[in-house]
Amino acid sequence: MVEFGQDPEDALAATTYNAAVQLDHPDLGVVEAGTPADVVGYSRDPRDDIGAVGSPSLVVKDGEVYRSPRGCSRV
């Protein structure tokens, strides 16, 4: 999406919250009380460097924390 000219922040929204709304699951794609949340963290801001999404430094999935300086492995 970004390679075709879309703003990185808009592309991130399109692949998270906006996609959840289109799939009729507005409780997904947000981090707030009462919603299920899997979280991905990056060492660089993907709004400034969209390539950062390819190298997460932290993933929380179903309450399990995965992190690694070179990608994710279970902690």
pLDDT tens-place string over residues 16-46: 778 888 889 877 777 777 777 788 888 889 9
Average pLDDT for the chain: 81
Predicted confidence (pLDDT) at residue 72 exceeds the cutoff of 60: no
Other C-beta atoms within 10 Å of 29: how many? 17
pTM for the model stands at: 0.64
How confident is the model at residue 34, as a pLDDT? 75
Find how far residue 2's CA is from the centre of its chain.
Answer: 15
Predicted confidence at residue 13, as pLDDT, reads 83
Buried b (16+ CB within 10 A) or exposed e, 30-52: eeeeeeeeeeeeeeeebeeebeb
Domain spans of the chain, in order of start: 1-36, 38-75
